[in-house]
Structure 1
Amino acid sequence: MGSPKVSVTMPCYNCESTVGAAIESILNQTFEDLELVTVDDGSDDNTAEILKEYAARDSRLKPIFLEHQGVVGAANAAISAASGEYIARMDADDLALPERIAKQAELLDRDQKTGLTSCRVEFGGDRETHGGYAHYVDWINTLIGADEIALNRFVEFPFANPSIMMRSELIEELGPFRDGNFPEDYELVLRWLEAGVKMRKVDEELLIWNDPPDRLSRNHPKYTVEAFYRIKSEYLFNWLQNRLGPNPKVGIIGSGRTSRKRYEMLESLGVETAFYVDVDPRKVGMYIHGKKVLGRNEIPPAGEIFLLSYIASWGAREEVAEFLHSQGFVMGRDYLLAS
């Protein structure tokens, strides 16, 4: 038999309570020309035995057993063993809806210029106790088209990682996940976008993205807010240099302590600050490190200085964009949201 069209890669670690359902959600897809490459990352529970049981029943499941390496090592081991034209990600605690693989593969077949695709996802957690994560899911579900995704990539990671499907040839060309003191999925997307890869989503909910209390993004230092801002700042600096030249100068919307702390990561790379902008009348007219705080009605006209918004609170970020649009600013040309 030849290689399958799609290889689904699933790192697994101590997930005996959820991995069976995740496996079944892939093996029961309407799209059958697939393989499921699972990597047991040195689990010390019953995960390995469960993988063996499913592999004995369905030859499309190809289990790999490693000593514990961490999620990046396991994810890349699965990718290395995959033989499909398209490589899909899946987590062992999530559920793929029946048409997920078919619809994502169809998008890649139809649009040869798209290199990575995803989909809208259903939030599988408790909105009352984890409202911030639920808001994040709501936000990524608004980003469907390639331009929306590219322009908003410096706000937050624009995908649910286990919803991704990508062309295997791009992994060979641009490299898989990198290990480091940063979120590996966000770094890959930033790196590929910087290389010009087009990314877009299927405009349907095709994955249930669960939110267990032991999710790595809640507990591992490489997924902290600071880690996200570090890697974001590196790629944003590259983007600004390509857009504005080797010594980029920007105006910063948001002069509060949190905004300044996050912006300082970018400033330390060589970005020059023209001014700050704030709506708090107590701050307007003040100087921060020698740079004046302007009221938003004092912002120079579009085209004079590039703006970065570091306003992160829900609703306020959108209000900033609405105000700038009303003043003739165009996202990507005159400003970006960076928080």
Structure 2
Amino acid sequence: MKKRTISILIPFKNTAEFLPDCIQSIINQTYDNWEILAVNDHSTDNSLDVMHSYAQKETRINVLKNEGKGIIEALRTAYSHAQGTYITRMDSDDIMSPNKLENMVRSLEKLGQGHIALGKVKYFSKEGVGDGYKSYEKWLNHLTEKGLNYSEIYKECVIPSPCWMVHRTDLERAGSFTSNRYPEDYDLAFRFYEQDLKCIPTNELLHYWRDYGHRTSRTSEHYAQNYFLDIKLHYFLKLDRDNESPLVLWGAGNKGKTLAKNLLKKNIAFIWVCNNSNKIGLDIYDKRMNHYLELSKLQKAQVIITVANKEAQEFIKDYLQDQGKNRVQDYFFFC
């Protein structure tokens, strides 16, 4: 039986020094029926020359010019030329493990449409990987091992942007790259969640994620914290908010205050609580800060938690579970 084609979408901008490792890792794949749609997003280094040099030797590589500007437009350009049954993304500065494509296709062919093939990821860097990235890697891989990625979707992006694969029809159902929301990978993860695409659990390390100081996710304003909070609130209100239940915001740090301002701006009623004795009873933005025990007086409340401290999160989780509340139904960690 003929192997189905995988379309690999690769936006690239000023990554000339990393492109050879990236492209060679694809050429070396054990699964060979793929096409690369490489979109130059207005590079000012010699990235385009590097990509053209590979395309001249490899007919499966199609080099394109971004029809707009930025990664979302580049993904749209790439996808508009894609011919594959399966669609995946790749970052132009990363490296695939040799069996990545074969592993993902095998998972999708076994379980069919309505599923997302994933892989575990590993950060690497010449300068060394920071504790924050190590923590994210460990957290993300733990979810992927169990296929429980959506269980913590409001904390952080639970689908690694360069390490997923879906059937083309499922990507279409999720809206492909039509959304203008940044961060674009987090927005797509929520749309996969909205369409109930099942995450396939795996223990396989399939992707090596490069970190360096001028990486786009570190330098672009589109990946600032306020963009993440905006996406979380947007999809919570769209997908999980029960308007018949009281809404409670737990936490009065920077994220809690930002979220409170957004809720007030949208004229959405909420009760603000915390477990910080220094803030209980204060008026912030003309909104009274209540003791968290006020929760026990509410029927079927939904709780958004913006407390980042790990010990405090455990306390909050235990308290809410003792109240009979369920995660990603009654309470949602936004950090």
The bucket for the TM-score relative to the shorter chain is: 0.7 to 0.9
Is the contact made by 1:302 and 1:328 (CA closer than 8 Å) also made in structure 2? no
Is the contact made by 1:273 and 1:291 (CA closer than 8 Å) also made in structure 2? no
Distance 1:331 1:267, change over 3 A: farther
Q: Distance in 2 between matches of 1:96 and 1:302?
A: 50
Secondary structure, counterpart of 2:202 in structure 1: strand
Aligned twin of 1:281? 277
Secondary structure, counterpart of 1:11 in structure 2: strand
Is the contact made by 2:147 and 2:202 (CA closer than 8 Å) also made in structure 1? no
Distance 1:196 1:159, change over 3 A: closer
Cα deviation digits, residues 193-250 of structure 1 (max 9, x gap): 2233333453322101111211111111111101111122111111243xx13x6522
AA matched with 1:165: M
Q: Distance in 1 between matches of 2:296 and 2:283?
A: 17
Aligned twin of 2:334? 338
Distance 1:129 1:59, change over 3 A: closer
The TM-score, its normalising length taken from structure 1, stands at 0.87
Q: Where in structure 1 do 4 or more consecutive aligned residues deviate above 4 Å?
A: 126-129, 285-288
Distance 1:184 1:253, change over 3 A: same
Q: Distance in 1 between matches of 2:56 and 2:84?
A: 21
AA matched with 1:261: T
Q: Distance in 2 between matches of 1:151 and 1:266?
A: 23
Q: Distance in 2 between matches of 1:113 and 1:303?
A: 39
Cα deviation digits, residues 130-179 of structure 1 (max 9, x gap): 32233222222221278732231111111221112122112333322246
Q: Distance in 1 between matches of 2:14 and 2:175?
A: 27
Secondary structure, counterpart of 2:137 in structure 1: helix
Distance 1:306 1:54, change over 3 A: same
- Alignment of 1:249 with 2:250, yes or no, is no
Is the contact made by 2:88 and 2:165 (CA closer than 8 Å) also made in structure 1? yes
Q: Distance in 2 between matches of 1:72 and 1:52?
A: 22
Distance 1:128 1:174, change over 3 A: closer
Q: Distance in 1 between matches of 2:330 and 2:231?
A: 23
Aligned twin of 1:13? 13
Aligned twin of 1:205? 205
What are the equivalent positions in structure 2 for 1:187-336 lying under 5 Å apart? 187-241=187-241, 244-245=242-243, 249-278=246-275, 280-286=276-282, 288=284, 289-295=286-292, 299-300=295-296, 304-314=300-310, 316-336=312-332
Percent of aligned positions with the same letter in both sequences?
A: 25
User: How many residues are aligned here?
Assistant: 333
User: Which structure 1 residue ranges, 5 or more long, are not aligned?
Assistant: none
Distance 1:98 1:320, change over 3 A: farther
Distance 1:14 1:286, change over 3 A: closer
- 52-61 or 213-222, which deviates more: 52-61
CA offset at residue 251 of structure 1? 1.9
CA offset at residue 257 of structure 1? 4.4
What are the equivalent positions in structure 2 for 1:100-111 lying under 5 Å apart? 100-111=100-111
User: Which structure 2 residue ranges, 5 or more long, are not aligned?
Assistant: none
CA RMSD of aligned residues (A): 2.7
- 307-316 or 91-100, which deviates more: 307-316
Secondary structure, counterpart of 1:203 in structure 2: coil
Aligned twin of 1:65? 65
Is the contact made by 2:66 and 2:77 (CA closer than 8 Å) also made in structure 1? no
